[in-house]
Structure 1
């Protein structure tokens, strides 16, 4: 892997104001000092030049350990773009088609039913699927699969009773459990965030004949020089940790133990990574599927992935506005969803700055990235602050664009 980023000591050479970039550092530092969050790594690159790469505050507040630029983070749903790229690589090899029914690769989904009025029903009634769920549905979250907290009482209880999301099960055991449960919506009708990308990870395993961790680490991370990324356990001396919540006296419960590798290789949320590693992945997408002389995807495939795949009449799960706010993939925000990430498709609707065609996604752990092809810009924020995550997604957008003056 021959590609290396240039580091400029003069952000002005890449169209940024040094004084205005300092505003981002100052506001993050104030929040860290106020103990709102333990620490962060912020990274901004433009036209292949790193204009900002700062480690702020503490990697682990309780251990009084300083944040480092190479600290390792649970990137949560920022795993989804890598799993999506894995599937598209297999599609380019002719080993799968995203138009195919999922049941062609995972037969357990052949008889899947759909819950009737899943958002409100207190008892679980089902109906037949009007059409099969496809691999494309998994990629764009229109499969009808959901997360338990985002659905109504009856289906939520069914997910809980089945033990869906148990870190002790394998991907094969996970999909076997999930396929026995009804979908929340008819396939193709509704954008609903959920376990779609986890099922996609199992499709990658079946088609490739490799475990998901081996495929991603060998075919994506190793080839892009992402040496600090993977599903493996992390040395405690490098793992960024959320701080203890003073109200409960505990760390937030939604983050897995970083120093232990779970049996469940979650294609939707299981990866660990660093800001610099994720920058290499983003630059590959920005450069049309290649990083230096290493090509993972064709430009045409990247254009397909970064196009809006939601139909004009698509419905949206009722929790989408609450979960993602101004960055939700909703018509009112001018944001759609491609194959693995959100895509801005209109100007003047989203309250946050950006460009038409920018693609982005985030993690419940507090991580966030976006790629702006028009500005040749990549921005990444890594922190482990799940309860405060929305504030910092908004803040990062505003602070990056206000600093870009040329």
Structure 2
């Protein structure tokens, strides 16, 4: 289906040696255990590499079709599903979530219950939070709210717990990364009368031939082993892990990818391959023959209704529907073009799509947190632009 969109390069261009070096150094210096890195330019994959180990202790090498727990790489896929429902008239961005979830009415500290819209959930402006972004004694932790990576309860119970915590700010007046997509997943199910996994399959993964991506792993033999940052090298994650991050830690439960023990998290619950996600990114290109959404919807997705004051990935970055949006490249100190979309996943992933230079990069690793927020994603980004400098507009 995608032969014309994803012609795989027969030979790696010599100019990508700088990217090979960046990957090799990250592995040799013990920053990551393994990775799959894909680079596309003008709709064609011009670099592809599987490096390091899928399982270091078993000596299992990384392979290009390795399956990763995607964490927040889930969010763009679910956001596209929501917007498909909007195009079909099944949801409206400005309607209140209580239309679909009448019991979900979190309150302000003064006891008032402001309206939360679908738009606010999509853009993380609803006043919600994530437990891993709070201190260890933060309100979400005290309430037992799941961030989606360790879900061992029903979605209904998690919504009840979320609604029981006071809003951090009035909806629409701030930005804070949050469990909003999990709330949105429940609203999607109610609006369409279908389960989240089936909705995403029907609206996104099947149309884009993303055969290895879903809320349950289809081939456990290709699932990579997760690692966490360690010294002098990453440490294999236990079945239930607490990985230090920001003010607190992120709780991972590895069997969520292979069992039905918890709810399917719309913000963090999918697994899939690098090639599948590249298919998704390339469907956003202006002239893609496999466009999933109409031109007006994609244009809206590439805007930043949450301005750069939010600094969602540092100075110069705002936020849109499912990802951060580059508003000011100079302020951000990046070679990426204005309007670049970018995000990652805490299991160790990063990705971006630069529509100005028509570059898409997917870098999935099995090392948290380095693969998402360490030196590795920056080294990959810079190497890609150095490799392509002679073919990019000046």
**TM-score bucket (shorter structure):** 0.7 to 0.9
Query: Shift of residue 280 of structure 1?
Result: 0.6
Query: Shift of residue 7 of structure 1?
Result: 2.3
What is the rounded CA distance, in whole Å, between the counterparts of 2:135 and 2:145 in structure 1? 17
The structure 2 residue matched to 1:233, chosen from 217, 223, 241, is 217
What's the counterpart of residue 258 of structure 2?
A: 259
What's the counterpart of residue 133 of structure 1?
A: 116
Q: 1:311 to 1:279 in 2, by over 3 A?
A: closer
- Check whether the contact 2:326–2:339 (CA below 8 A) recurs between aligned residues: yes
Deviations 1:30-63 (A, max 9, x none): 3213333111111001112110010001111121
What's the counterpart of residue 103 of structure 1?
A: 98
What's the counterpart of residue 8 of structure 2?
A: 7
Query: Shift of residue 170 of structure 1?
Result: 2.7
What's the counterpart of residue 46 of structure 2?
A: 51
Q: 1:158 to 1:223 in 2, by over 3 A?
A: closer
What is the rounded CA distance, in whole Å, between the counterparts of 1:371 and 1:10 in structure 2? 23
Deviations 1:84-129 (A, max 9, x none): 111111111111111111111111224x2124xxxxxxxxxx4424
Deviations 1:127-151 (A, max 9, x none): 424x411111111110011012323
Paired residue secondary structure (2:48): strand
What is the rounded CA distance, in whole Å, between the counterparts of 1:236 and 1:10 in structure 2? 30
Paired residue secondary structure (2:206): helix
Q: 1:158 to 1:26 in 2, by over 3 A?
A: closer
- Check whether the contact 2:307–2:319 (CA below 8 A) recurs between aligned residues: no
The structure 2 residue matched to 1:113, chosen from 107, 113, 123, is 107
What is the rounded CA distance, in whole Å, between the counterparts of 2:218 and 2:58 in structure 1? 16
TM-score by length of 2: 0.87
What is the rounded CA distance, in whole Å, between the counterparts of 2:76 and 2:291 in structure 1? 16
Q: 1:373 to 1:106 in 2, by over 3 A?
A: same
Q: Does 2:295 correspond to 1:299?
A: yes
- How many residues align? The count is 370
What's the counterpart of residue 362 of structure 1?
A: 344
Which 5+ residue runs of structure 2 have no aligned equivalent? 242-250
- Check whether the contact 1:83–1:200 (CA below 8 A) recurs between aligned residues: no
Deviations 1:243-263 (A, max 9, x none): 366569651724432433442
Q: 1:104 to 1:78 in 2, by over 3 A?
A: same
After TM superposition, list the pairs within 5 Å mapping 1:15-26 onto structure 2.
18-26=13-21
Paired residue secondary structure (2:300): helix
Which 5+ residue runs of structure 1 have no aligned equivalent? 12-17, 116-125
What is the rounded CA distance, in whole Å, between the counterparts of 1:305 and 1:49 in structure 2? 22
- Check whether the contact 1:148–1:160 (CA below 8 A) recurs between aligned residues: no
Query: Shift of residue 202 of structure 1?
Result: 1.1
Q: Does 2:125 correspond to 1:142?
A: yes
Cα RMSD after superposing both structures: 2.3
What's the counterpart of residue 198 of structure 2?
A: 214
Paired residue secondary structure (1:57): strand
Deviations 1:333-355 (A, max 9, x none): 22111111111122311122200
What is the rounded CA distance, in whole Å, between the counterparts of 1:55 and 1:182 in structure 2? 45
Paired residue secondary structure (2:263): coil
